[in-house]
A and B are shown apart, each in its own frame.
Chain A
Amino acid sequence: MSDATGHVTSLLAPDARTKARNAAERRFRMIGLSAVGLGLLALLVLLSSVLGNGLSAFQQTSVALTIPLDEKKLDKSGKRDPAAMAKVTTVGYGKLIQEALQDMLDQAGVDTGGLKPKELMGLLSKEAAADLRERVLADPALVGTTQTFEAMANGRVDGYFKGRVTLESAKRDANISPEQLELAQRMADAGLIVTSFNWKFLTNPDASELRPESAGLGVAILGSAYMMVIVLVLSLPIGVAASIYLEELAPKNRWTDLIEINIANLAAVPSIVFGILALALFINFLGLPQSAPVVGGLVLTLMTLPTIIIATRASLKSVPQGVRDAALGVGASKMQAIFHHVLPLAMPGILTGTILGLARALGESAPLLLIGMVAFVKDYPAAPPEGFFDPASALPVQVYSWTQRADPAFAERASGAIIVLMLFLLTMNAVAIILRRRFERRW
């Protein structure tokens, strides 16, 4: 103990070693704090990158045209017979739009810069003529009247106003010329091109490579919604039933042990493997259609089940034994005790777990790629239940397919779609949190 006495110093003056140790303590703290900071920074960068790239997808530039819908051109017979009217193709409507555009520019006194009519039309989306045709065919009474029509601007023009396309880049671009962009600028100055909220981004179906401006999430949102319905309807009852058996009724034996290990491992199987299962089982073996929400819903159900089972068992476990004993004590059967007392008490926890499971399923994309949901789908699926078998897309998969397109306008759409997806997830998580806060019981 000789050096113990040499070590003794006043408590009030820390020795050199203590100082060094305290410095090490501070360093360690700083490292820890910076790790937390790094995590938060990553979240911030991620969110701002998505928002920065995607918010502009919710804006769309368009040109309001006043178009006289000439009967002679659109319905020669004058009988308003839809079959006969359908013979007029988009080319015919395109001419109407072109004339209207020319008129408008003349009236407003905007200098066209000597652009040819075809180049003028290049300012508008190629979808405009089809849109107009659809609108007329849907309501033949419009023929003969004069209508105002919001024609979407071409993706490059749209990109010009959003800063994605510049006069420089237009020189190297076969799809747009600097002269066209200058005209667009003059039109905007004259108030002919306006930017407004892009509802069509939420409702339109996907569009082809050349028309990024008209590509929307309609089919994808519908497809995702269909799948969520299937997942909810299948996984909630099956998951709750399985949990009740495992937690409340099952004897402890090899078989139930196996099921438990199985569920724990199933929760960690990579999602792509579930995709392979769906492809081999549902599509190749059972012959269910590709790209169909029913297949996506089934595979997502299988993926969600472990999550729901784990959450349900946890909340069944948290119901105190006293509740069961009390019910059994007044002569209820075991099933009655479970269904009348335990299950209702565990319900908030079960619902929270289910919503979180659904949120994860909503964001899942890998397995859906394998069952053909990347396919280009332009038609809305029918109403359920037949619609479950129609081809559809899904939100996360739509993001993926847009990233695979060459036009940078699709990159903006992809980020916009992510924002929509995250809003859905945020809502679901918020509901789960509120449920938990509102109904959480502490025993």
Chain B
Amino acid sequence: MNDMRLTERAVTEKAKMSARGVQVHYGTNHALKDVDVDILDKTVTAFIGPSGCGKSTFLRCLNRMNDTVASARVTGKIEMDGQDIYDPRVDPVQLRAKVGMVFQKPNPFPKSIYDNVAYGPKIHGLTRSKAELDEVVESSLRKAALWNEVKDRLAAPGTGLSGGQQQRLCIARAVATSPEVLLMDEPCSALDPIATAQVEELIDELRAQFSVVIVTHSMQQAARVSQRTAFFHLGSLVEYGETGTIFTSPRDPRTESYITGRIG
């Protein structure tokens, strides 16, 4: 995993989501300024930048999680498959089934492992029978590379798993609603290196089915898992392009400073 695999980066150029002129205000705080980004299909996109640069804020715009923050105000345009997700006719509930999310700290519900994964399919009514639901749970857990570890104790509480397992359970939970885009907000920051490696490997496999957007603090991680990288600084998108290009020949001096460790 240590090589940058620059040669493998054969990516589709089809944009799954596109953001134009996105601004976010939290109360009086202008948290995100005029961001334009295209998220490509079947690609891992990494958002990097120092703390408070707006990368998580932007991520939360993509599935309208900012709606749950009372003081947040989002302007600009974000489209998914050509449809404006901030259109008043769009139900955020339906949107979030298509744009799944994995959070910084593993947050399994205080329920059994099975119920954790089955939660999404149940509320969206994705399955017609118990057998079908069992199938979805199994395939999701397999995709999250957790099946072999938990198949004998699906009824055990999800909170009883180790940190890395919990995070993979959360990924399985998000995968179970068969999203088209998967957002990951620093998914490895609460994990140890071994668990981190497992999750990173998983992200690479998930790319086959969805486009993945990952916010990360770690430039090595961005380099390891992503094909595209966006660098945020002080609420603005500084530079966006192929991961290899960003890390080897950044155009903007701020990007270079960050990558070489001078700001952060």
Contacts and interface: CB of A to CB of B under 8 A. Distances in A.
A22 B89 CA distance: 13
A18 interface: yes
Contact of A22 (B83, B93, B128, B178): B93
A286 interface: no
A10 B91 contact: no
Interface stretch (A1-9, A191-199, A320-328): A1-9
B126 A18 contact: no
A252 interface: no
B13 interface: no
A14 interface: yes
Contacts of A10: 83
A12 B125 contact: no
A12 B90 contact: yes
B83 A11 contact: yes
B68 interface: no
Given A1-B178, A4-B178, A14 B91 contact: yes
A14 B94 CA distance: 8
B89 A12 contact: yes
Given A3-B126, A11-B80, A12-B87, A18 B94 contact: yes
Interface string A13-25: 1110110011000
B123 A21 contact: yes
Contact count band on A: 10 to 19
Contacts of B87: 11-12
B95 to A, nearest CB: 6
B93 A13 contact: no
Interface in A12-67: 12-15, 17-18, 21-22
A119 to B, nearest CB: 72
A3 B178 CA distance: 10
A7 B180 CA distance: 12
Nearest to B178: A4
A11 B98 contact: yes
A15 B124 CA distance: 11
A8 B123 CA distance: 15
Contact of B94 (A1, A3, A4, A11): A11
Contacts of B139: 1
Contacts of A1: 139, 178
A18 B93 contact: yes
**7 closest pairs, A vs B, by CB?**
A4-B178, A11-B83, A12-B89, A11-B90, A17-B125, A14-B91, A18-B94
Interface string B65-93: 00000000000000011010101011101
A18 B81 CA distance: 20
6 contacts: A3-B132, A4-B126, A12-B90, A14-B89, A17-B124, A17-B125
Nearest to B94: A18
A13 B180 CA distance: 18
Among A8, A11, A21, max chain B CB count under 10 A is at A11
B248 to A, nearest CB: 37
Given A4-B126, A10-B83, 4 more contacts: A7-B126, A12-B83, A14-B91, A22-B91
B93 A11 contact: no
Contacts of A18: 91, 93-94
Interface string B176-201: 00101000000000000000000000
B159 interface: no
B18 interface: no
Interface in A77-104: none
A3 B127 contact: yes
A18 B98 CA distance: 13
Contacts of A22: 91, 93
Interface string B252-263: 000000000000
B178 A11 contact: no
Contact of B95 (A11, A13, A17, A21): A11
A197 to B, nearest CB: 49
A169 B81 CA distance: 81
Contacts of B95: 11
A17 to B, nearest CB: 5
Contacts of B125: 17
A1 B175 CA distance: 11
B178 A15 contact: no
A21 B92 CA distance: 12
Contact of B93 (A4, A7, A8, A21): A21
Nearest to A5: B178
Contacts of B132: 3
A8 B181 CA distance: 13
Contact of A11 (B85, B124, B128): B85
Nearest to B83: A11
Interface in B108-124: 123-124
A18 to B, nearest CB: 5
A21 B120 CA distance: 13
**Most chain A beta-carbon neighbours within 10 Å: one of B94, B123, B139, B178:** B94
A1 B180 CA distance: 12
Contacts of A11: 80-81, 83, 85, 87, 90-91, 94-95, 98
B232 to A, nearest CB: 26
B178 A13 contact: no
Contact of B89 (A13, A15, A17): A13
Interface string A383-401: 0000000000000000000
A279 to B, nearest CB: 48
Contacts of B180: 8
A17 B95 CA distance: 14
A27 B80 CA distance: 30
Contacts of B178: 1, 4, 7
A397 B232 CA distance: 70
A21 B125 CA distance: 10
A22 B90 CA distance: 12
B254 to A, nearest CB: 35
B127 A15 contact: no
A21 B90 CA distance: 14
A14 B85 CA distance: 13
A13 B94 CA distance: 10
Nearest to A22: B91
Interface in B93-148: 93-95, 98, 123-128, 132, 139
